[in-house]
Amino acid sequence: MDKTVKAEGRSIDSASPREAQSAAKSARLARAKPPAAIRLGIAKTYKLYINGKFPRTESGRYFTVADAKGNIAANMCRASRKDFREAVLAARAAFSGWAGASAYLRGQILYRVAEMLEARAEQFVAELKLMGVDKRAASREVTATIDCLVYYAGWTDKYQQVFSAVNPVASSHFNFSILEPVGVVSVLAGRENALLGFVEAIAPVIAGGNTAIALASEQNPLCAVSLAEVLHSSDVPAGVINILSGYRKELAEQFASHMDVNAIIANGDDASEIKMIQEQAANNIKRVIIRKKPVAPDPYQIIDVQETKTTWHPIGG
Amino acid sequence: MIAPKPDQAPRVDQVGVDERVARFRARSIKKASKVEALNLVLSQIDLTTLEGQDTPGKVRQLCQKAMRLHDSLPDIPHVAAVCVYPMMVAEAKKALGASGIKVASVATSFPSGMAPSDVKLEEIKLAVGLGADEIDMVISRGKFLEGKYQEVFDEIVACKEACGEAHLKVILETGELGALDRVRHASLLAMQAGADFIKTSTGKIQPAATMPVTLVMLQAIRDYYYDTGRMVGMKPAGGISKAKLAIHYLVMLRETLGEAWMSPEWFRFGASSLANDVLMQLQKQRTGIYQSEDYFSKD
Amino acid sequence: MNKATAPHSLNFDTGWAYSPAPESIDHVEIKDQYKLFIGGKFVAPKSGKYFDTINPANEKVLARVAHAGVADVDRAVKSARDAYDTVWSKMKPAERGKYIYRIARIIQERAREFAVIESMDGGKPIREARDVDIPLAAAHFFYYAGWADKLDYAFPCRTPQSLGVAGQIIPWNFPLLMAAWKIAPALACGNTVVLKPAETTPLTALKLAEVMEAADLPPGVVNILTGDGSTGAAIVNHEDVNKIAFTGSTNVGRIIQRALAGTDKKYTLELGGKAANIVFADAAIDQAVEGIVNAIFFNQGHVCCAGSRLLVQESVADEVVAKLKERMQTLIVGDPLDKNTDIGAINSAAQLERINAYLDLGQEEGAEMFQCGGKNPDKGYWCQPTLFTNVAQSHRIVREEIFGPVLAIQTFRTLDEAVAKANNTQYGLSGGIWTDKGAKIFNVGAKMRAGVIWANTFNKFDPTSPFGGYKESGIGREGGMHGLSAYLDLH
């Protein structure tokens, strides 16, 4: 399983000394050629995140991601359909526990993710910068991501109150409608905002008690994959969020067609892909949520992946 | 013998019972089936007078009515019984003679039942001694609500023994029991203690008989029959004054207990004014013309 | 066809039988031929084609109705678009609401006529049409009428906007009620409508068109097209339709979802079901038995949310099944127009064939079949109420939607086993729980993956109560406040 992949063409990073220094504080990104007196940097191997573990792809394949300067930033796992299948199994197994967790606990855990991200903020700023985001924008994106997590952490025990209902039926029954998570949700993250966009896509899914398999942006996967480290240290139960990297063209169809996935969220505006997703989703009447453009956080995105359950009971003696 | 505890009786859901009753009431009984039902209702009536102002004269009149409901309608049955206080049993027995109509006597300190057990038993023996064919006793609701089920049970057992050959109808006074679960429990308790009939009400408390209460009692009878093979009769009493409602009761009886119970031997209506409405309906069926009360005797 | 097996069983073969009590039909007008209702007028179909609609209880033709082709669909959509652009989307919401109130009132006034036609065209007992379908249809219009000018309150921090033209395709099991479920919220939200009733039950929708006329609804706001699957497909595929609402089988729902891929049409789907009705040993057994009957035999079992799988706890299984068999002996199968009929005619010859195939299949699979042995009328399509015992989760009669009066009975030992069996299906529309213990209701209710949970009751409907499924039972909700979002743009 844990086969080592020999990557070809590993290049020397040409980041400036200051940047290299900053990166060294967090997980070391830059594969820097060390000045004579400094020790050799340890580059991070980016792996998948499935069922609370960090496996490499079972396929043994990889793809390279280039940084802003066109150099290879990392070799990413090119996840296969089997990796996706494993991730769905993990998400399904985790579902009843996570859906059954109290809203308070889910809120606490999402808040914990925010705390952990805050603590590792510099690592993510560095990763964003590596991919060409300027420093101020990178900082803004990381803080916005943390705030997004806090925002949804706060919603976990409120959306039910805002969107559920007691229905005044005419017969002698008590009738109420509550929201329940739809189940296992597959998420195709958009290209924009590697970190913020990814978190904005998965946070409302998780806040509502679903479990997820998310595909990181193909062009810009570093932050999403690194986010797994944050999740891993944040009491998020294994399998609740599974993160894959790989070729969207190869995996999107699997994300859309899998019979044990209840909903798909696809960020992006590729018309032919959207059509394909909707067609494949019909296999099991999957709920399809298409977000052609990034959407600011709001509770309706939680509701998008909720089912309404209505319960009747007689009122009598 | 040990009295059944509340948890030995099945649960009852009131809304579900109401819905089932609504279905019975939605049955449309027309033409031949209506005439047949009306005749059956007449034959199942316990014509009743239970007033402080009852006199031998009133009872004699009632017995005449019982025997000759409406002379201008040939081929109609007589009622099943006349139901009176113990003091009136002898008068009724004499007036009814060999008509085949039974004399039913309330007893056990009707309607409250608030008397010592030995007094109640004496009253039964008195009524039976005067010729009562059937005894309508009341259960001690106070004791039942207090949870002294064994005392209630033992009293019924003693009453049954005191009845000798007379049939024992046990009045639960469901209007005082407060819930259908208790009706179901009290029905089971009464049957296990030896009741030949179970009866809803004295007629002195509102609500008296209702279809939901009667359905629960019929279902108790059915389950008791499943368990023991012994048939127990049913008597809703009080508040059934219209033929249409009585027919709904028969529909309910038919679809709950079936053919075997469709006779005066196993089902009675305790009523004082039902008979005339049934007669009017029969006349209407015969003539096609709606009737006036002025044409039917009020006794 | 064995009799109930209780040691002391009852005899419901009484001397006293109910005389026929037929509902009078002399007050009902059914024309020989119906055209399409487009732009506020009945117009002949461009297709030039008509088809018969028959009474499934006697196989007699009731009327000829037009078959809408692609050109007719196009005309209806244009008329709906025109009405949307020029009138309906511009009207004050409160005024829109008043039209819908009018519709509700006229249906109430003409309720019995609707009930009779519903029974004749679809085969359902007049009692159900009279007491359930028609009153609920009127209530739906009345409920949604009031929403028209209150939509802003339903969605915090959003400004709801109407969608445009809604294409609506409804099934044959509750023809007028389904039309009401579809049309009422669509109109309240400011959309215009092209509605296609089912091929075998077009008449009450056409009568509803008369109501729209009588209510002076602006022409084109509601268009009603009769036809078959090809008509429905033309509506789904019409490029100027903004929203599709479909109720029907999961297979057709799948086709529609595929057909809509790549379009921006919004859609809601109410599809099939195979609901588990779980009876625990501590239930009020007599009411549970009644609930089982109501769950599977209501409307001949032509109900997507029917409780077609009974899961009964082993310790009470014998009692429940024995009581169920006795109860079934009092069900009256026959003339739908007789007020005492409990189970009417199967909706069509094709549906009867499908049900009968499942009856054969169930027996081939080794299940034990029970029917009371009642005699079917000579003409028409009939199926006696049927139980299958000795069935397993793997049987097709347990897995597939039969859409007839056929109940598969399984037993369970523990709560977890009941829940596991209940959820072991591709469907998730509804479920039943019977127990006297409140804590158990909340526990099991939360674990059942279904959109409607009936606890100590079954098959209850109300305009205020959202209805719709999990998993392959559909997408979206109809009814209640939740039913509004299907007809609004909330962005």
- A316 and B18 within 8 Å at the Cβ level: the answer is yes
Q: Which residues of C touch B10 (CB under 8 A)?
A: 284-286
Structure confidence at residue A31 (pLDDT): 54
Query: For C389-418, what is each residue's pLDDT tens digit?
Result: 999 999 999 999 999 999 999 999 999 999
For this structure, is B58 an active site residue? no
Tell me, yes or no, whether A252 lies in a domain.
yes
What is the percent of chain A where pLDDT is above 90? 85
B180: nearest CA partner in chain A: A317
Tell me, yes or no, whether A13 lies in a domain.
no
pLDDT at A12 over 50: no
Structure confidence at residue A7 (pLDDT): 39
CA distance B269 to B271: 6
Chains adjacent to A (≥3 CB pairs closer than 8 angstroms) = B, C
Q: Which residues of C touch B30 (CB under 8 A)?
A: 18-21
Tell me, yes or no, whether A232 lies in a domain.
yes
Q: String of b and e for B160-187 (b: at least 16 CB within 10 Å)?
A: bebbeebbbbbbbbbbbbeebbbbbbbb
Amino acid at B285: Q
Nearest to C477 among A281, A308, A311 (CB): A308
For residue B237, give the CATH number of its domain: 3.20.20.70
pLDDT at A55 over 50: yes
- Do residues A68 and A13 lie in contact, with contact meaning Cβ atoms separated by under 8 Å? no
CA distance B52 to B46: 19
| Strand ranges across the sheet with C309-313 | A165-166, A173-181, A306-314, C452-455, C430-434, C276-279, C309-313, C406-412, C386-389, C368-371
Backbone dihedral angles phi then psi of residue A282, each to the nearest 5 degrees: -65, -15
Put simply, whether C157 touches A (Cβ < 8 Å) is yes
CA distance A167 to C404: 30
Question: At C70, is the secondary structure helix, strand, or coil?
Answer: helix
Task: Give the angle C336-C341-C342 at the CA atoms, nearest 5°.
Answer: 110
Query: For C419-428, what is each residue's pLDDT tens digit?
Result: 999 999 999 9
Superfamily of domain C276-455: Aldehyde Dehydrogenase; Chain A, domain 2 (3.40.309.10)
Q: Where are the domains of chain C?
A: 33-271+470-489, 276-455
Structure confidence at residue A34 (pLDDT): 58
- Do residues A64 and A257 lie in contact, with contact meaning Cβ atoms separated by under 8 Å? no
For residue A192, give the CATH number of its domain: 3.40.605.10
- Do residues C62 and C120 lie in contact, with contact meaning Cβ atoms separated by under 8 Å? yes
Closest CA–CA distance from residue A167 to any residue of chain C (Å): 6
Backbone dihedral angles phi then psi of residue A142, each to the nearest 5 degrees: -65, -45
Question: At B88, is the secondary structure helix, strand, or coil?
Answer: helix
Question: At C36, is the secondary structure helix, strand, or coil?
Answer: strand
Residue corresponding to tokens 């006696």: C384
Structure confidence at residue A28 (pLDDT): 45
Nearest to A314 among B15, B179, B180 (CB): B15
- B30 and C131 within 8 Å at the Cβ level: the answer is no
- A285 and C468 within 8 Å at the Cβ level: the answer is no
Query: In sequence order, which ranges of chain A are alpha helices (DSSP H)?
Result: 17-25, 81-100, 103-119, 121-130, 135-155, 159-163, 196-207, 222-232, 248-257, 271-281, 300-303
Chains adjacent to B (≥3 CB pairs closer than 8 angstroms) = A, C
Backbone dihedral angles phi then psi of residue A109, each to the nearest 5 degrees: -70, -40
Structure confidence at residue A11 (pLDDT): 38
Put simply, whether B262 touches C (Cβ < 8 Å) is yes
Q: What is the DSSP string of B154-193?
A: HHHHHHHHHHTTSEEEEE--GGGT-SHHHHHHHHHHHHHT
Return the closest-CA partner of residue C222 out of C168, C269, C145. C168
Return the closest-CA partner of residue C181 out of C453, C462, C474, C469. C462
Tell me, yes or no, whether A135 lies in a domain.
yes
Instruction: Pull the structure tokens for residue C142.
Output: 């009345």
Class (C level, CATH) for C33-271+470-489: alpha beta
Query: For B41-94, what is each residue's pLDDT tens digit?
Result: 999 999 999 999 999 999 999 999 999 998 888 889 999 999 999 999 999 999
For residue B116, is the peptide bond before it cis, meaning its omega torsion is within 30 degrees of 0? no
pLDDT at A2 over 60: no
For residue B236, is the peptide bond before it cis, meaning its omega torsion is within 30 degrees of 0? no
pLDDT at C1 over 50: no
CA distance B4 to B10: 11
Structure confidence at residue B299 (pLDDT): 74
Return the closest-CA partner of residue C445 out of C482, C410, C414, C418. C418
Closest CA–CA distance from residue A175 to any residue of chain B (Å): 14
Amino acid at C197: P
Tell me, yes or no, whether B299 lies in a domain.
no
C8: nearest CA partner in chain B: B226
Higher pLDDT residue, A186 or A3? A186
What number of other Cβ atoms are within 10 A of residue C474's Cβ?
28
CA distance C236 to C34: 23
Nearest to A285 among C139, C474, C482 (CB): C474
**Rounded-to-10 torsion of CA C312, C324, B189, B228:** -110
Residue range C217-231: mean pLDDT, rounded: 98
Return the closest-CA partner of residue C459 out of C173, C195, C268, C208. C173
Q: Which of A264, A285, A286 has the most C C-beta neighbours within 10 Å, making it the best mutation to test the interface with C?
A: A285
What number of other Cβ atoms are within 10 A of residue C316's Cβ?
20
Tell me, yes or no, whether B227 lies in a domain.
yes
Nearest to A310 among C158, C253, C466 (CB): C466
What number of other Cβ atoms are within 10 A of residue C32's Cβ?
8
The pLDDT confidence band at residue A21, using thresholds 50, 70 and 90, is: very low
pLDDT at A52 over 80: yes
Backbone dihedral angles phi then psi of residue C455, each to the nearest 5 degrees: -105, 120
pLDDT at A17 over 70: no
CA distance B206 to B216: 18
Strands B81-84 and B102-106 turn out to be parallel
DSSP H or E stretch at residue C250: helix C250-259
Question: At C471, is the secondary structure helix, strand, or coil?
Answer: helix
Q: Which residues of B touch C6 (CB under 8 A)?
A: 226
List the domain range (segments joined by +) for residue B120: 9-285
Tell me, yes or no, whether A317 lies in a domain.
no
Q: Which of A155, A161, A177 has the most C C-beta neighbours within 10 Å, making it the best mutation to test the interface with C?
A: A177
Judged by average pLDDT, the poorest of A20-29, A175-184, B248-257, C225-234 is A20-29
First to last CA, chain B: 44
Structure confidence at residue C491 (pLDDT): 79
Return the closest-CA partner of residue C281 out of C320, C335, C239, C241. C320
The pLDDT confidence band at residue C14, using thresholds 50, 70 and 90, is: confident
Chains adjacent to C (≥3 CB pairs closer than 8 angstroms) = A, B
Query: Which residues 25-84 of chain C have a CB within 8 Å of chain B?
Result: none
Q: Which residues of A touch B179 (CB under 8 A)?
A: 317
- C465 and A312 within 8 Å at the Cβ level: the answer is yes
- C257 and A285 within 8 Å at the Cβ level: the answer is yes
Query: For A64-90, what is each residue's pLDDT tens digit?
Result: 999 999 999 999 999 999 999 999 999
Return the closest-CA partner of residue C254 out of C269, C232, C238. C269
Backbone dihedral angles phi then psi of residue A272, each to the nearest 5 degrees: -70, -35
Residue range C267-287: mean pLDDT, rounded: 98
Among residues B46, B65, B199, B277, the one annotated as catalytic is B199
Question: At C356, is the secondary structure helix, strand, or coil?
Answer: helix
- B179 and A317 within 8 Å at the Cβ level: the answer is yes
- A175 and C451 within 8 Å at the Cβ level: the answer is no
Structure confidence at residue B163 (pLDDT): 98
The dihedral built from the CA positions of residue A29, A32, A35 and A40, taken in this order, carries a sign that is positive
Put simply, whether B244 touches C (Cβ < 8 Å) is no
Contacts for A227-231 with beta carbons within 8 Å, 24 or more apart?
A227/A117, A227/A195, A227/A198, A227/A199, A228/A49, A228/A54, A229/A27, A229/A120, A230/A113, A230/A116, A230/A117, A230/A120, A231/A49, A231/A113
Instruction: Pull the structure tokens for residue C471.
Output: 């998993």
B130 exposure class (CB count in 10 Å sphere: 0-12, 13-18, 19+): middle
CA distance B64 to B61: 5
A173: nearest CA partner in chain B: B15
- A314 and B14 within 8 Å at the Cβ level: the answer is yes
B18: nearest CA partner in chain C: C287
Tell me, yes or no, whether A56 lies in a domain.
no
- CA-to-CA separations, C233 to B43, B210, C195, C256, in angstroms, rounded: 64, 54, 12, 8
What is the percent of chain C where pLDDT is above 70? 99
Query: Which residues 90-129 of chain A have a CB within 8 Å of chain C?
Result: 100
Backbone dihedral angles phi then psi of residue C286, each to the nearest 5 degrees: -65, -40
Structure confidence at residue C394 (pLDDT): 96
Q: How many domains does chain B have?
A: 1
Task: Give the angle B71-B73-B74 at the CA atoms, nearest 5°.
Answer: 90
- B11 and C12 within 8 Å at the Cβ level: the answer is no
Q: Which residues of C touch A180 (CB under 8 A)?
A: 446
List the domain range (segments joined by +) for residue A117: 81-164+182-300
CA distance B167 to C50: 71
Tell me, yes or no, whether A130 lies in a domain.
yes
Interface of A with B (CB under 8 A): 172-173, 314-317
Structure confidence at residue A19 (pLDDT): 46
Among residues B136, B181, B196, B277, the one annotated as catalytic is B136
The pLDDT confidence band at residue A13, using thresholds 50, 70 and 90, is: very low
Q: Which of B219, B230, B255 has the most C C-beta neighbours within 10 Å, making it the best mutation to test the interface with C?
A: B255
Query: Mean pLDDT over all residues of chain B?
Result: 96
Does this model's pTM top 0.90? My answer is yes
Residue corresponding to tokens 């805002």: A162
Amino acid at C382: W
Q: String of b and e for A86-103 (b: at least 16 CB within 10 Å)?
A: bbbbbbbebbeebbebeb
Q: Which residues of A touch C157 (CB under 8 A)?
A: 298
- A309 and C261 within 8 Å at the Cβ level: the answer is no
Structure confidence at residue C435 (pLDDT): 98
The pLDDT confidence band at residue C7, using thresholds 50, 70 and 90, is: low
Helix C203-214 to helix C93-109 angle, to the nearest 10 degrees? 120
Return the closest-CA partner of residue C126 out of C205, C18, C25, C17. C25
CA distance C104 to C100: 6
Residues of C involved in catalysis: 270, 304
Residues 6 or more apart in contact with residue C195 via CB below 8 angstroms: C168, C169, C170, C179, C182, C183, C205, C222, C223, C224, C225
- B259 and C340 within 8 Å at the Cβ level: the answer is no
CA distance B256 to B252: 6
Query: Which residues 57-86 of chain B have a CB within 8 Å of chain C?
Result: none
Tell me, yes or no, whether B251 lies in a domain.
yes
B223 exposure class (CB count in 10 Å sphere: 0-12, 13-18, 19+): buried
**Rounded-to-10 torsion of CA A135, A140, A142, A148:** -170
- Do residues C456 and A161 lie in contact, with contact meaning Cβ atoms separated by under 8 Å? no
A313: nearest CA partner in chain B: B15
Tell me, yes or no, whether A286 lies in a domain.
yes
Tell me, yes or no, whether B4 lies in a domain.
no
- B29 and C20 within 8 Å at the Cβ level: the answer is no
pLDDT at A20 over 90: no
Residue range C45-52: mean pLDDT, rounded: 97
Residue range C432-460: mean pLDDT, rounded: 98
Q: Which of B7, B8, B12, B13 has the most C C-beta neighbours within 10 Å, making it the best mutation to test the interface with C?
A: B13
Query: For C447-477, what is each residue's pLDDT tens digit?
Result: 999 999 999 999 999 999 999 999 999 999 9
Q: How many domains does chain A have?
A: 1
Nearest to A314 among B13, B179, B180 (CB): B13
Instruction: Pull the structure tokens for residue C475.
Output: 């997408």
